[in-house]
Amino acid sequence: MSNDSIVILEGARRTPRADILHKNREAGVFSRYTTTQLGGKAIAATLDATEVDKSLVGHVVMGMAQHSHRDSIYAAKGMAWRGGLAQDVPALTVARICGSGAEAVAVGAEMILAGVRHDRARPFIVVGGAESMQYPFCLYNARGHEVGGAVQKYGPIDTGKLARGTYLQDMLLMSLYDPSAKMAMANTAEELARRYQISREEADEFGYRSQRLAREARDAGWFATETTPVEGELAGDKITVQHDTHIMDDVSLAKMARLPAAFEQGGIVTAGNASAVVDGAAAMVIGKESDARQHGARPLARVIGMGVAACDPQIMGWGPVPSTKRALDVAGIKGDAIDHAELNEAFAPQALAVIRDLAELGIDPERFNPMGGAIALGHPLGATGAILTLTCAHALRRTKQRYGLVTMCIGGGQGISLILESL
């Protein structure tokens, strides 16, 4: 990294993370929002809270894993104008699946440090990520039919006029299957459980820990400094969503033990020890430390290390181990220097395998996810990396600790890691 380091400015904000379904039946409270709308809300809240004039923002880089709505193709540009930025601010959408939000931080930092496309007159970049997991059903084998028959150009489908052989597929479910691994994402976690001899009891205990710690953090108000309330809708009524909705107040190990294996006969991954499917977004403003000083903006944390690595897609969840090794090397610190670690809990056995191996690098297992993780809080794919980054930065500030790790696995067999230094 350059001597003139990249800093995250104070004011980084996220939306609450909201279940895509309420009680697994009704539309979730954010179901009426597209990914670009959620991202715009996060950007607007961040710009309102950050001590930098909007006119000094020269670029936007936002992560998004998958197109979920008609406007998703416009992604980062749509988020930028919805967030209140001028139309002449360019925007880039990046997609590294589950690591997209962290990738946005990395790409934004690299754009500034490389200087090739950096706007010196507008030296700050908005980075983050957003995801509406309200993925649609996709219609196949409908090409070749005249528009205006079964399919309207901008309107609905007349199912009675669809030709034989057309069919629908759930974009959410089919996206979780990796052809290179020849298995779904949850089955890669089952494979790690076998290789690391992780039991169902250990997986449930980890899931219970996530819920317990998330509930304690919520009740203590620790998420309040990073979260902007968002108006949602439930059963036709407008409500203000202030907290992550998947945190459970009545969870117990006994209840978790009664849940059936969800993906393999005799498996250990259940609905209680896997990440929740939620909608959400996050944003932050980054820039050079010298530019922050020049413009009177207060930095929250310094980005001192980054690492990306790949691994066997059948154990895709192991990716944070090699990526963290690389990030620590770039940062020039050892694992035992890490005070706070945010690891995306895609699945309990995946997280446990990673924590076990990273402990060999000196990272204390108790320093991982002390405020809960995705099992309790949810995993909005393209947003997660950004959410964990600002959560880590805010937590380091609150606890007066120095070094933080942000890391997550990535479908297809990758990992991405960031090292933060609190300021």
Smallest Cα–Cα separation from 50: which of 132, 128, 130?
128
Output the CA–CA distances (angstroms, integers) from residue 57 to 45, 51, 76, in the order listed: 15, 12, 14
Question: Any residues with CB less than 8 A from the CB of 220 and at least 6 apart, and which?
Answer: none
Q: Which residues form the catalytic set? A: 98, 409
Q: Please give the Cα distance from 335 to 360 (Å, whole number).
A: 9
Strands (E), 220-294: 230-234, 237-241, 278-288
Q: One-letter amino acid identity for 276?
A: A
Q: Could you give the angle at the alpha carbon of 312 between the alpha carbons of 310 and 273, nearest 5°?
A: 95
- Sign of the Cα torsion 287, 291, 295, 299 reads positive
391 sits in the region (left: phi over 0; alpha: psi -120 to 50; else beta) called alpha
Extended strands (E) in 70-190: 91-94, 124-131, 137-140, 167-170, 177-178, 183-184
For the record, the structure tokens of 72 come out as 């998703």
Q: What does the block give as tokens for 3?
A: 């001597």
- State how far the alpha carbon of 387 is from the alpha carbons of 162, 200, 300, 316, in Å: 42, 28, 15, 21
